[in-house]
Copies of this chain bind each other. A is one copy, B any other.
């Protein structure tokens, strides 16, 4: 298969590890992480999974501690803030969370007064969800953290490189998005 490795980058890792005695264990740990990232037949996947991990774990950990909200609960808030009112099932489809999990999240957010549900025209099944001021306040407080970590991650890239990365990722995402739409979004979990 193709090689997506970038061998010339690797010295940058090694030169970060001085030869102290107490570095032995650290080096051995790094050996595994490094191998997963660079000596991996699926290096592209390994990289975005690594980034997702290093991004999501600290941020959602902070959200949990600061607001006592689970990841799903915050995702609902975030999506409503970014993309205006939606129904629960629309959020479920879009995020691929199971709808019962989402149902619990929505009910908790309603109970906490962070979101508001209003009738969806004549349809008495679905309710249209939107943020209350309290929910918006949480988003407003959290956003800088999310932006900050993203900025930190992108720090090693200059502006041109960022634009390039953004464009390349966009191409990949759009392609998957279209592929998914053309075969029915309901089958997301079965894509194969």
Q: Is the CB of B168 within 8 A of A42?
A: no
Is A112 an interface position by the 8 A CB rule? no
A residues with CB within 8 A of B? 1-2, 4-6, 9, 12-13, 16-17, 26, 28-37, 39-45, 47-58, 61-62, 79, 82-84, 86, 90-91, 93-94, 96, 143, 146-147, 149-151, 153-157, 159, 161-178, 180-182, 185, 188-192
Q: Which residues of B contact A43 (CB under 8 A)?
A: 166
Q: Nearest residue in B to A168 (C-beta to C-beta)?
A: B165
Partner of A55, one of B36, B45, B57, B178: B45
* A41, A51, A163 — most chain B CB neighbours (10 Å): A51
B-chain residues with CB within 8 Å of residue A150 when the two chains form the complex: 42, 44-45
- Name the B residues within 8 Å of A54 (CB-CB): 176, 180, 191
Consensus secondary structure, chain A interface: helix
Known contacts A6-B170, A57-B189, then 10 further A-B pairs from the complex at CB < 8 Å, ordered by chain A residue? A13-B177, A16-B182, A29-B90, A32-B79, A33-B94, A44-B154, A44-B165, A48-B52, A58-B189, A156-B175
B32 touches A83 (CB 8 A): yes
